[in-house]
Amino acid sequence: MENQSDLLNKQLLNDIGNIARVTSAEGKVASYIPELSRMSAELFSLSCQPVDSPMVETGDCGQFFTMQSMAKIISLAFAIEQFGCENVFRHVGMEASADSFNSLMRIEMTSSKPSNPFMNAGAIAVCSLIFKAYKEESLKRITDFLKSVIGEENGFDEKVFLSEKRSADRNRALAFFMKSMGLLHGDVEAILDLYFTLCSLRCTSGGLAKIGAMIASGGTSVVSGEKLIANETVYTLLGLMSSCGLYNESGEFAVRVGLPGKSGVSGGILAVVPGRMGIGVFSPALNAKGNSVAGIRALELLSEKLDLRGLGL
């Protein structure tokens, strides 16, 4: 029987890329933040970082884009490491909600914390915890952590940051609403600045793949070989990525792709094959639920070709 490691090569990724990138025509580049809408719908890159062998990539691999919601993986991991699971999940739940990513209805309806840390409300609550502890140092601490994961620093996209900040009324509403209910503490604008900066961090699909590989390897950096996050943190990230990583498309993603993942409105998706590899994919055209059309298609093909669910089908 052919070994899967043999199957993962540049030719396979090229083939997948050729099939997947066509589907981006069904989507639309995000427009709710003006600066995001300038990205070309044609762009596509796909990167696989095995836990124990070199990265394999295809497409516009050098293309930077902003992390958007994928940064929630980094801030959540950082927060759990610093404050412990129990403390973090006192402020945010662990369940998918079927509501859209920027919903707050359920917080009012149930008078309780945001459903999960990957919806905007939950991610802002996580930022508020971090900001409470580290104040102005918060960003530096998180980006240092990110650097230890991917081995480089790519800065943030100031135009996107400013665009986010100017278009931030919904997130501002979420933050003030939570504050009014005692679910968030501190200076809302400072917390949102941290949140928007994280969303604006620049990355490539290769960077996403390295983040995924760190999780896939149980918390060890593929760059330095250093153990960066505890097992419990790894389990938490995987569990949440499986159940609510693609907003209210998480169930369908679990059916079609079958891997823990996390998407962002810039068009990136980060996925994890536990024990084997991290995957990053990028294509800016989104479907109605805010996820990359070609990105999901590429992951679906990859999952099938490499039997990433381990079913031998």
Residue 36 backbone phi and psi in degrees, to 5: -65, -35
Distance in Å, CB of 158 to its own copies, minimum? 23
- 37 assigned binding-site residue: no
Which two three-digit tokens encode residue 125?
């609550």
- Give dist(CA 110, CA 166) in Å, integer: 30
Give 54 or 182: the residue with its C-beta nearer to its own copies. Answer: 182
- 195 assigned binding-site residue: yes
- 265 assigned binding-site residue: yes
164 within 8 A of 33, measured Cβ to Cβ = yes
Distance in Å, CB of 173 to its own copies, minimum? 4
Q: Which of 312, 306, 309 is nearest to 13 (CA)?
A: 306
Give 15 or 252: the residue with its C-beta nearer to its own copies. Answer: 252
Distance in Å, CB of 144 to its own copies, minimum? 24
- 250 assigned binding-site residue: no
Q: Which residues pair with 201 in a beta bridge?
A: 156
Q: Which of 56, 67, 48, 15 is nearest to 262 (CA)?
A: 67
211 within 8 A of 74, measured Cβ to Cβ = yes
- Give dist(CA 66, CA 284) in Å, integer: 11
- 164 assigned binding-site residue: yes
- 235 assigned binding-site residue: no
Which residues are near its own copies by CB under 8 A? 93-99, 103-106, 108-109, 115-116, 169-170, 172-177, 179-180, 188, 216-218, 231, 234-236, 238-240, 242-244, 248-256, 258, 274-276, 309-313
Give 82 or 243: the residue with its C-beta nearer to its own copies. Answer: 243
Q: Which of 72, 68, 172 is nearest to 126 (CA)?
A: 72
Give 155 or 310: the residue with its C-beta nearer to its own copies. Answer: 310
Extract the annotated binding site: 69, 120, 164, 171, 195, 247, 265
Residues annotated within a binding site for substrate: 69, 120, 164, 171, 195, 247, 265
